[in-house]
Amino acid sequence: MGRFNIKHGKLAWRTIAPYWSKEIFCGTIQFKRYWRALPAEIKPIFATYWCNFEIENGGFTQFFYNSSGIVAAEALAGFRALRLNKVAQVISAAMKRLGPKYPTDRLLRWHALGVGQDGEYPLIDKFEDLTYRYYELLPWKHQRWERAADSFVRKHKAANKSFNTAPLCVARTGRLRRPAG
């Protein structure tokens, strides 16, 4: 059996890497402050990366259970921006299973998932059918997300000469800034 070769997604990763931050793990208020500061062209790649990473690793239950579930609405918009509309439909359907208004707060998501008070992972996977549908639409070996993300970055770099992938830092205020030097 041949070795798997990752050919796509490198451009997308290089684009979001300077913006990589632990803000996604700091709760709704901190994350929203960080999200507002991100450049618009980075947001679809950032959100869909997290969503895709978590779902590929453990399905929708893992995505919604973990802190990264805070980006679900942003990922939904991001998949639409990447023109992966069928994937967006699956994400939308999964989000609706948590209630009419998606809970960005992790504890509220846990409640909707049926997580016990001790944080015990839910026994029943409410999303198994949608997880498998997601896997059918974005099989990792075909690198559909990676191709779409790279294409999005190339398109935005060509259209926006100021599209900058130089490293940024997050100040304690939640504002992005360029490092000195």
Q: Residue 42 and residue 21: Cα distance in Å, rounded?
A: 13
Measured in degrees and rounded to the nearest 5, phi and psi for residue 97 equal -70, -10
Q: What's the pLDDT tens digit per position in 115-144?
A: 877 777 776 788 999 999 999 998 766 788
Q: What's the pLDDT tens digit per position in 24-55?
A: 667 777 888 888 888 888 899 989 998 999 99
Ordered alpha helix ranges (H), the chain = 10-16, 28-37, 43-65, 72-81, 85-96, 106-113, 128-137, 144-159
Whole-model pTM? 0.80
Q: Residue 23 and residue 133: Cα distance in Å, rounded?
A: 30
Measured in degrees and rounded to the nearest 5, phi and psi for residue 170 equal -105, 120
